Amino acid sequence: MKATGLNHLSIGAKDVDASVRFYAEMFGMEPIPTYNFGFHTQYLRCGDQQVHIFSLPDAATRYQHFAMDVDDFMGVYERAKAAGIIDHETFGNGVNEMPDGTVQLYLRDPGGNLVEVDWPDVRTLDTSRIPELKRLADRFEQKGENLEATLYLARRGKA
């Protein structure tokens, strides 16, 4: 298995709105629909990728992460599970199905960095082999633009 590309960069901010204005004005990024994670978050379009800005206590040390796509989600999941590096604590669950059917797996690298592994379609996975998989919508209400959010802009014809 190999990584196929970076999906997004997620950064903490003391003031999400001020940071969104900065990235929009400085780099021409535009706000796009965002999932509701239960804390202030805003996604921005950055070319074909995304920058996610969020506000949480101790964001720089605990929640900041980078996300990548892989060509074999189950292979990465099984290796991470065997190594005991799935992060079940930081975002409340280690493997999540998003409202649009994408899947996020959180793990910690040896340096303690949080890494998110994304997969575009839960329907292509054998979910019976992923007991940790939970739906974000079962934890936090998703409505309005939350239901339009996606990690894969090209899939929705928004690239």
Q: Is residue 62 part of a domain?
A: yes
**Domain CATH for 65:** 3.10.180.10
Q: Is residue 141 part of a domain?
A: yes
Q: C-alpha distances in angstroms, 81 versus 5, 26, 132?
A: 22, 41, 10
Q: Is residue 156 part of a domain?
A: no
**109-123, pLDDT tens digit by residue?**
876 878 899 999 999
Q: Name the residue with tokens 């900065």.
A: 22
**11-61, pLDDT tens digit by residue?**
888 889 998 998 898 788 999 999 999 999 999 999 889 989 998 877 666
The domain containing residue 90 runs over which residues?
A: 3-150
Total number of domains in the chain = 1
- What's residue 61's pLDDT? 65
The whole model's pTM is what? 0.77
Q: Is residue 15 part of a domain?
A: yes
